[in-house]
Amino acid sequence: MAYIPLFLRASAEKPVLVIGGGLIACAKTEALASVGAQVEVLAESVGESLQALCTQHGFKVTEAPYQAEILESHTIVVAATNDDALNVRISQDCRARGIMVNVVDNPPLCDFIFPALVKRGPLQIAISTSGISPVLARLIKHTIEQAVPAQFENLIRFMDEKKSVLRKIFTHIQPRRLFYEQIIRGPIAEEVLEGNNSCANLLFDDALENFPKEKQAALYLIGSGPGHPELITLKAIRLLSQADVILYDRLVSPAILEQYARKDAHKIPVGKTRDHHLKKQEDIGALIEKHLLKGDIVVRLKGGDPGIFAHGAEEIEIARRVGAPYQIVPGISAANGCAAYSGIPLTERDGAKGVRFMTLYTKTLHQADFWEGLRYAQKETLVFYMSTPHYVLLCEKLQSIGFRPDTPVMVVEQGTTPEHRDYVSTLEKFDAELGERSFISPSLMIIGDVVRWRETNGWKEEPQEASLYFSALPSGEEEQKKKEAAHA
């Protein structure tokens, strides 16, 4: 059952009608009163607690049997009687009249449900499990209650007082938003929370005088990690939340954009696969330059680490050319993430003395010096990115330059995601055991004695059936239709 999270304006002209006179009706009335709503109570008999609550807030109480006619002057109704049949009737009557109704503890009869609520003055944080587990919602509420200071209302009032001033000074929304963030994250907020308003005002005036009033272009190359949305750094989250424009790869977890990017940020997919590029690298570069020149904060969001097979130097050169500041925010690489989730080290005492991150380009497949360079890497761990079509040839070539035929090999599909899956073999047996398999992208191959650790140290349970975690890229035809629709 799907619910849309909304905050409704409390109206004194049309109070919420609560039908019921017991403890449940009292609890709902108290919850409504706590957010400033006007309430009218109808019941054949009203309990003492509810009567006292209504007297305290000046709510109208009518002791009479339920009749559908009373609904006509209301837009929101709460059915909180102990009569199931009556609650069903109230729900049906409300829906017939287009009136929003909540039937306590009966989600199928509800048009809306009450969330667990954390309230700090005007700040309200609503938590809902769609009616499945109110206990879980309450536990989450308690966690948030501890994380958000009780004095947070002071900061909201302070910001409300400064709002009109900031709107006059900052004509662009971006610098205004960044200044608000500076207030919230810095010493100004700390002084406000402690009630030191005079000090806070002095700090505010000083910060305002020295803060840029125009848009501030910047480029952030951010690694989102190998797939699991929690494998992203705190700094990456902070900078991602500032972005006006986000150019993101296919191998970025959708949850990262949903949780950490602003809803109004312009999100542009620029993903690539071996045979299909939504945007060529020169197109991506042109987009970066275009938005930097407009004064936008641009995030180039990459799967894994932005310094590994990711064109980072080319994109930084654009920022340098237009004079925009830039930062590189490292991410957990696919090699590190896949190895960790498979339970293996990448180096090992008295074993693997180093690790190489590599890829097999078509032009290097038959270059003798490339393979000769690997002849002395038999005591190292080799990790091959983006080389799936060449796995069989890779295993053959390594044996031909002296690698032991029983050298362990592991292919990891969609590493660290819920679809993480390992395939273990050896150089000698790979073709026979896995050579015909079509591995799901992204996949990488880890070669070396460290793979032996997987048998004893592997901890990630694999799904029973393989399926896609990352969405496939839309076809060129689909992209063209989207562009045409956007310009229509």
| Residues with catalytic function | 249, 272
Torsion of CA 385, 386, 392, 397, to 10 degrees: -60
CB-CB contact of 359 with 461 (8 Å): no
Question: Do residues 10 and 36 make contact, with C-beta atoms less than 8 angstroms apart?
Answer: yes
Q: Which 3-state string (H, E, C) describes the chain?
A: CCCCCCCCCCCCCCCEEEECCCHHHHHHHHHHHHCCCCEEEEECCCCHHHHHHHHHHCCEEEECCCCHHHHHHCCEEEECCCCHHHHHHHHHHHHHCCCEEEECCCHHHCCCCCCEEEEECCEEEEECCCCCCHHHHHHHHHHHHHHCCCCHHHHHHHHHHHHHHHHHHCCCHHHHHHHHHHHHHCHHHHHHHCCCHHHHHHHHHHHHHHCCCCCCCEEEEEECECCCCCCCCHHHHHHHCCCCEEEECCCCCHHHHHHHCCCCCEEEECCECCCCECCCHHHHHHHHHHHHHCCCEEEEEECECCCCCCCHHHHHHHHHHHCCCEEEECCCCHHHHHHHHHCCCCCCCCCCCCEEEEECCHHHCCCHHHHHCCCCCCCCEEEEECCHHHHHHHHHHHHHCCCCCCCEEEEEECCCCCCCEEEEEECCCHHHHHCCCCCCCCEEEEECHHHHHHHHHCCCCCCCCCCCCCCCCCCHHHHHHHHHHHHC
Region of residue 388 (left: phi > 0; alpha: psi -120 to 50; beta: else): alpha
